[in-house]
Amino acid sequence: MSFMIINADDLGYSPAVNQAIVDLHRAGLVTSTSLLVNQPFSSQAAALARMLPDLSLGVHLNLSKGRPMLPPAQVPSLVDDTGAFWNSSLFYRHALLGRVDWQEAADELDAQIRWAVEQGLRLDNLDTHVHFHMLPPARRLTLELAGRYGVRAWRTPDPRATLLPSKLWVDLLATPSPDTWELMAPHFLLSLHQWGERLLTDPQLAELFRRPGLVTELVVHPGYRDDPHLPLPDQLPPERRQFEVDLLGSAAFAAWLQRTGLRLISFAGLRNATTI
């Protein structure tokens, strides 16, 4: 038997995104979600999460969307002249050029997790917006923060598991086992944004899911087409987020789950799955 975590990113992004995640969880599809804590609707998202004890929750650590939790003067290497985070491409550029002060990043990320804990939320995992914990300094910070807050799991940081499908198969056998990390993690990471409907028909993917004990995280970005509060520009416009809602709720997706024999679990159930 193989397992799948369906994790919805961007809880807190907008009321429509929040509602879509709640609706998909109540439909038995989304098993885990990742909370952005620095968005205008993060408090609303935290209140919803407290009402859903079966929804596994992580913090979507963020250094490139919105404004920091700390005063901008305390994290000058992370923000532009307006006090907002650099956008994703500029953040990566600054990181690769050595312009990010990782102690400032550590303080900011600690503040983000602390905010979630102070909301009375139980955290099962950590991940990062635009997957920046693939960077070695950020990976170390994430491990340290997980230990500090008693978090036991994270999104696999191996970037080979997040590339386009054509790249995934090249590196399939080279992907390290989660057993080599200090936190539990799914073996593979797939993005519905990248795969789309091909997820349901790809024969190599179906063969992968036949491996006993394999745990895959399917990252989704749900939302509704009518979303006046979605911050734009965004990598996923409302129409694309609606597409993911429609695909996950379709008869074709339900038939695919039955055909593959995948058992849906959450990050909270990851330890039990990896010991079967």
pLDDT digits (tens, 9 = 90+) for 148-193: 999 999 998 875 454 444 444 334 433 444 444 579 999 989 999 9
Instruction: Give the pLDDT of residue 274.
Output: 62
Instruction: Give the pLDDT of residue 181.
Output: 55
Q: What is 146-169 written as a DSSP string?
A: HHHHT--EE----GGGGS-HHHHT
CA angle 138, 205, 179 (to 5 degrees): 40
Query: What SS3 class is residue 176?
Result: coil
Instruction: For residues 13 and 240, give the distance between their C-alpha atoms in angstroms, rounded to a whole number.
Output: 15
E-strand stretches of the chain: 3-11, 32-35, 56-61, 125-128, 153-154, 188-191, 215-220, 263-265
Residues in the chain predicted with pLDDT less than 70, given as ranges, are 159-181, 274-276
User: Per the structure block, which two tokens stand in for 186?
Assistant: 């799914």
Instruction: Give the pLDDT of residue 159.
Output: 53
Please write the tens of the pLDDT for every residue from 217-246: 999 999 999 999 998 778 789 999 999 999
User: Per the structure block, which two tokens stand in for 139?
Assistant: 């990976």
Topology classification of domain 3-274: TIM Barrel (3.20.20)
Instruction: For residues 163 and 150, give the distance between their C-alpha atoms in angstroms, rounded to a whole number.
Output: 30
CA angle 206, 210, 216 (to 5 degrees): 75
- The predicted model scores a pTM of 0.92
Instruction: For residues 266 and 217, give the distance between their C-alpha atoms in angstroms, rounded to a whole number.
Output: 9
Per-domain residue ranges of the chain: 3-274
Ramachandran region of residue 176, left (φ > 0), alpha (ψ -120 to 50) or beta? beta
Instruction: Give the pLDDT of residue 168.
Output: 45
User: Per the structure block, which two tokens stand in for 207?
Assistant: 């063969």
